[in-house]
Amino acid sequence: MTPTISHGELLVCILYAIAVGRPVTVFDGVGESDLRAAYPRLMRSLAALIARPLLGPLRTQWRKFRMSGSRGSSSKESSLFGLYTKAQTFSLPLDAVTSLPARGSVYGKTRGLFLPAYSARGHRFSVNTTRHRLRDVSLHVEAVGSGEVSCLIQDGRLLSYPYFIVPWSSRAPYCIATRKQVIHLDRGVCLLAYTSGYYHWLLEGVPRILDLIDDGTDFDRYPLILPPLASFQRELLILLGISPDSQVVTVGEGDWCHVEDCIYPTAPFPFGVAELEDPSGQPDRTMLLRLRDRLLAKVPASTSEEQRLTKVYISRAHAAKRRLTDPTEAKVQALLSTFGYSTVYLEDHPWIEQVRLLRSARSIVGFHGAGLANIIFSEATQLLEFSNPMEARPYFSVIARELDIRYRTIIGTLEGISPRFDNITIDIDQLRALLEVMED
């Protein structure tokens, strides 16, 4: 258990284990203890879940009262302020999903907070995405908890297409209460969802942009509506022939964008498939190869003698979270160097240079993080991933499976407690043994 685990997640994981008849122990990344040691935390979680439906409406009514007296209350966006329940939503048809031949589970026997949601990752699917046309919509980004959530409103109702807004079961009613910048567009393409962060941008955002390009979309008439752009997003847009300055409109937290004619492209998620509790992070081989081939074809040749790295360690030593302790990092780099691995810090390089660094890589080692998504540009046949024991996720093992990359993993240990997960250690002897196997 860590401070970042929500009350609901804690109870759900324990109830899941009990339901399938497994003994329940508490694992904090350092050691295990009997469930009785977790009783105080469990009682606090239960009390919070009971209090939420009782105190939540009072809190949101107070916020609504404060909104009613806000400056500019006669504007279009302020008329949409308020509390939205599930009854005030509308849906779009789910995309057609094709089941592909199943392969073995991408996960071995290990522990991790998110294991129940990924129990069915042997299943494979392809998705026929859609570009919906919606008239007279309002787009907004609201702060929810420690993050941001984008929403689309039409005729006073929220779009409840999966994952577009927070799940109703965990946070209801949905409160819209902020207004900063207001933008009015005749036409636009809504890409506010699943485009923040490098992994989501590359594997869930860029495929939709390629769909739009293949549709012949005129981005002068239909600019892309995106969250504020990071440097890698600007680079990639330019590579695709899209101007970040004239063909993109950015909408940040608290902003509104009213669009008369809106194209809404769906993301390549197999929503509605019973076998998957969580359909995110499920790219299929065809989509990955299309993405790789289209982008690599546009990466310009290097003007200098390019270093061809065949063994690469993607270090997160410069990252703010999800990284090894400094002593462990030093040991890992020293050991990997004896096996011929070059250490790279992807965040120190422009996006195109990141692609070039990994393009010739045959064997890749790295800690779980968005940078590993760049394995799609490599010639890798082997991937060794270090994982945080409290958030072991199968995203990159799925990619490896689809691209015929031999996948191995080391589940680390937490050295104390840190919500940033910057305190991971791994077994150096286990790493040495796996590297020797990878040499064969």
DSSP 8-class letter at 246: T
Contact residues for 23 (Cβ-Cβ < 8 A; gap 6+): 17
- From first to last of its 440 residues, the chain has per-residue pLDDT tens of 444 455 566 666 677 666 656 666 665 544 566 777 767 767 777 777 677 666 666 665 666 666 555 545 567 887 888 778 778 888 899 899 898 887 765 554 444 444 444 444 567 889 999 999 999 999 999 876 556 788 899 999 999 866 555 444 444 567 787 889 999 999 999 999 989 899 999 999 999 999 999 999 999 999 999 999 999 999 999 999 999 999 999 999 999 999 999 999 998 888 877 766 667 778 899 999 999 999 999 998 766 555 689 999 999 999 888 889 999 999 999 999 999 999 999 999 999 999 999 999 999 999 999 999 999 999 999 999 998 877 777 889 889 989 999 999 898 888 877 777 788 899 999 999 999 999 97
Rounded Cα–Cα distance for residues 149 and 138 (Å): 14
Rounded Cα–Cα distance for residues 397 and 388 (Å): 14
Dig out the tokens for 146 from the structure. Answer: 């420690």
CA atoms within 13 A on the CB side of 18: 8
220: β partners? none
Rg (CA), the chain: 23
From its phi and psi, is residue 115 left (phi > 0), alpha (psi between -120 and 50) or beta?
alpha
Dig out the tokens for 130 from the structure. Answer: 């859609």
Q: How many residues does the chain have?
A: 440
Rounded Cα–Cα distance for residues 367 and 409 (Å): 10
Residue with tokens 């996960």: 107
SS3 398: helix
Rounded Cα–Cα distance for residues 177 and 400 (Å): 42
- What is each CA distance from 344 to 236, 268, 289, 333, in whole angstroms? 21, 30, 24, 10
Residue with tokens 């203890």: 33
Cis peptide before 173 (omega within 30 of 0): yes
Q: Is 199 within 8 Å of 373 (Cβ atoms)?
A: yes
Dig out the tokens for 57 from the structure. Answer: 């409406």
Q: What is the pLDDT of residue 144?
A: 67
Specify burial of residue 314 (Cβ count, 10 A radius: 0-12, 13-18, 19+): buried
Neighbours of 393 (CB within 10 A): 21
SS3 322: coil
Neighbours of 205 (CB within 10 A): 25
Rounded Cα–Cα distance for residues 37 and 393 (Å): 26
Contact residues for 281 (Cβ-Cβ < 8 A; gap 6+): 393, 394, 395, 398
Q: Is 324 within 8 Å of 412 (Cβ atoms)?
A: yes
From its phi and psi, is residue 84 left (phi > 0), alpha (psi between -120 and 50) or beta?
beta
- SS3 per residue for 78-91: HHHCEEECHHHEEC
